[in-house]
């Protein structure tokens, strides 16, 4: 567990929260579980929000909170501290909402909810990441 590992998944432009949550639940989290890090860091970029002028995706504030719930639960399962580094977000109002919702989720608010896997992008990402980690869809 000495070295770190970053899981970068290609998320298509225009993707909504269900696509992102599917990739997180079925690809990123299982790979992270197998890696068993002693520290979980979130690159907290909020430019994928539907109102952000830069990101080109369609996430809602609740989607970021749900992703934070998922990561929080992973960190608890692994007995690892979780931290976040603010990255992008270019609509100040939305950025404030997303940061607040994410921090609240990391502090214990809300519950992680499972969704059905995205039928197109999740298998593609799993095939890519599956070269390094054992994933089951």
11-28 burial: b if 16+ Cβ within 10 Å, else e = beeebebebbbbbbbbbb
Check: CB of residue 126 under 8 Å from CB of residue 118: no
Measured CA to CA, the distance from residue 67 to residue 80 in angstroms comes to 17
Choice between 130 and 50, residue whose per-residue pLDDT is larger? 50
Rounded CA gap, 131 and 126, in Å?
A: 9
Supply the pTM of this predicted model. 0.90
Would you mind telling me the total number of residues written for the chain in this entry? 137
Question: How high is the pLDDT of residue 1?
Answer: 45
Q: What is the pLDDT of residue 135?
A: 77
pLDDT in tens, 6-37: 766 678 889 999 999 999 999 999 999 999 99
> How would residue 85 be classed by pLDDT, with cut points 50, 70 and 90?
very high
């Amino acid at each position: 567990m000495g070295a770190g590992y970053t899981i970068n998944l290609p998320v298509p432009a225009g993707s909504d929260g269900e696509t992102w949550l599917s990739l997180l639940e079925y690809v990123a989290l299982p790979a992270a579980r197998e890696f068993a890090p002693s520290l979980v860091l979130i690159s907290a970029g909020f430019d994928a929000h539907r109102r952000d002028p830069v990101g080109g995706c369609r996430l809602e504030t609740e989607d970021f909170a749900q992703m934070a719930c998922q990561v929080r639960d992973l960190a608890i399962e692994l007995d690892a501290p979780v931290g976040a580094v603010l990255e992008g977000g270019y609509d100040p109002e939305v950025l404030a909402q997303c940061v607040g919702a994410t921090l609240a989720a990391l502090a214990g608010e809300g519950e992680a909810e499972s969704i059905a896997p995205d039928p197109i992008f999740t298998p593609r990402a799993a095939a890519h990441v599956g070269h390094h980690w054992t994933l089951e869809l």
